[in-house]
Amino acid sequence: MSSSHPVSGPSHLRWLIGLFNVGFLVLFFWFTGFVVNDIGEIPAPSYAELESELIDPNLLKSQLQFQQELELTRSELDAEQRRLQTLRGETDSSQKTMDQLLEFQRLRVEKSMAISVDEQTAMAVAQRQFFEKQDQYQQRAAAVTQLNEELLSLEQQQKKLLAQLDESRQPVHREYEQRMEQHNWKVALWKLGVLIPLLLAVCGLFWGMRKGTYAAMVLMAVLAVSARVISVMHDHFPSQYFKYIFLGVILAVVGRTLAYLLRSRAHPRAEVLLKRYREAYEAFLCPVCDFPIRRGPWKFMAWTAKSVLKITPPVGNPNEVSDEPYTCPACSVSLYEKCVQCNSTRPSLLPTCPQCGFAAAVVPDSTRR
């Protein structure tokens, strides 16, 4: 007998089961994440490959050559400018030496003193050095000017080339975007191709086991896979499609649940009905219309479902307590009646007679499913 009456179990066990249900959900979601990630490893189209495929290789090559040439010219110009700087210093210093010697000679001439041969030689050497340096300086300066011009022309040519390249890169960009989109769809289809059958499988399993012991566990798997399907759709589908798919699914689920709730209110299932009867009898209220069941010592009292817990139950004289059949005066439903087996009084809307244990069908068969 006991196996047909599910027991809710001690509270710590229920807590533990709830906790493990959540754990199972998270782990299953995680697991599907690994699967989806592995599928996402399908190689994506490479931009570099596409470029080398679609752009004239000569154009790319000459662009590279120009780049190298430009860099070389820039570093040459840089070195030349530094040399020029050094030469300027040297020229300046030899000019200073010469000026000093000239000043010295001028003073000698003013004082009518003779200039020695050594002094004359030194003067000649200084003069020669100065002119040499100046010569070199002019040559270097000319080289720098030429390099600058070369650089300018190279830069202009490169500009033209880059514009040309930019133009020829546009179809590459378009092609790349197209291929990326195709790739994205391919990956999404692969992922959903694995996830949707999995979802159908766990849904089928849940439907088959929905009244069994493991229903909650399978439901967690259903929720985990559903969440993964939604996340994959969100990642891969353009938002204008995704929002319709997502809303459609949510609408279907909410609509289905609402329909179920409305149906179970209109035609409650046997167990729901029995639960309602039990709770009403516990509160001494008519299960059909909530009118107080005023039997025996409760005859002159009034209460509601809320206040019944706070009032002290009246104690009647056991000899005087009548246990007679009782019908709700408000809705005319029989609430206590004679047991067909033992003839004692029993609650009409509860399944079993408390005296003899005779079980009667109190809920019409039509509500059983």
Please state whether beta strands 326-327 and 334-338 pair in parallel, antiparallel, or not at all (unpaired).
antiparallel
Residue whose CB is less far from Zn ion, 33 or 351:
351
Q: Nearest 5°: phi and psi at 234? A: -65, -40
328 binds Zn ion (CB under 5 A): yes
Contact call for residues 172 and 52 (beta carbons, < 8 A)? no
Shortest distance in whole angstroms from residue 331 CB to Zn ion: 3
Contact 143, 80 (CB under 8 A): yes
Q: How far is the CB of 341 from Zn ion (least distance, A)?
A: 4
Judged by CB under 5 A, the stretch of 42-50, 53-61, 84-92, 329-337 that binds Zn ion is 329-337
Residue 183 corresponds to which tokens in the numbers above?
């790739």
- Looking only at residues 176 through 215 of this chain, which bind Zn ion when binding is defined by CB under 5 A? none
Give the range of 184-192, 205-213, 214-222, 320-328 binding Zn ion by CB under 5 A.
320-328
Under the binding rule (CB under 5 A), the answer on residue 162 touching Zn ion is no
What sign results for the dihedral spanned by CA atoms 337, 339, 340, 344? negative
Q: Which of 341, 352, 362, 367 binds Zn ion (CB under 5 A)?
A: 341
**DSSP reduced 3-state for 1:** coil
User: Is 172 one of the binding residues for Zn ion (CB under 5 A)?
Assistant: no
340 binds Zn ion (CB under 5 A): no
| Residue 331 within binding range of Zn ion, rule CB under 5 A | yes
Question: How many of the other CB atoms lie within 10 Å of CB of 276?
Answer: 14
Closest to Zn ion by CB, 89 or 357: 357
CB 149 within 8 A of CB 77: no
Query: How many residues in the shown chain lie near Zn ion by CB under 5 A?
Result: 14
Stretch that binds Zn ion, among 59-67, 93-101, 185-193, 330-338 (CB under 5 A): 330-338
Q: For residue 334, give the H/E element and its range.
A: strand 334-338
The interface region with Zn ion, picked from 84-92, 143-151, 304-312, 339-347 by CB under 5 A, is: 339-347
Residues 286 and 332: their CA atoms lie apart, in Å, by 10
Q: The tokens of 257 are what?
A: 């649940």
Which CB atom, from 183 or from 295, has the smaller least distance to Zn ion?
A: 295
CB of 314 to Zn ion, least distance (A): 21
| 3-state secondary structure (DSSP) of residue 338 | strand
Binding to Zn ion in span 244-273, by CB under 5 A: none
* Shortest separation between residue 333's beta carbon and Zn ion, angstroms: 5
User: If binding is defined by CB under 5 A, does position 356 make contact with Zn ion?
Assistant: yes
First to last CA, the chain: 20
**Judged by CB, which is closer to Zn ion: 201, or 330?**
330
In angstroms, the Cα distances linking 245 to 122, 197, 230, 242 are 98, 18, 9, 5
> Considering only residues 237, 339, 347, 349, which one is a binding residue for Zn ion as defined by CB under 5 A?
339
Nearest alpha-carbon partner for 24 in 254, 232, 253, 214? 214
Whole-angstrom CA distances from 53 to 56, 60, 168, 180 are 8, 11, 12, 16
Q: Looking at 26, 27, 250, 330, which residue binds Zn ion (CB under 5 A)?
A: 330
217 lies in the binding site for Zn ion (CB under 5 A): no
Binding mask 272-311 for Zn ion (x = CB under 5 A): --------------x-xx-x--------------------
| Residues found near Zn ion in the complex (CB under 5 A) | 286, 288-289, 291, 328, 330-331, 339, 341-342, 353, 355-356, 358
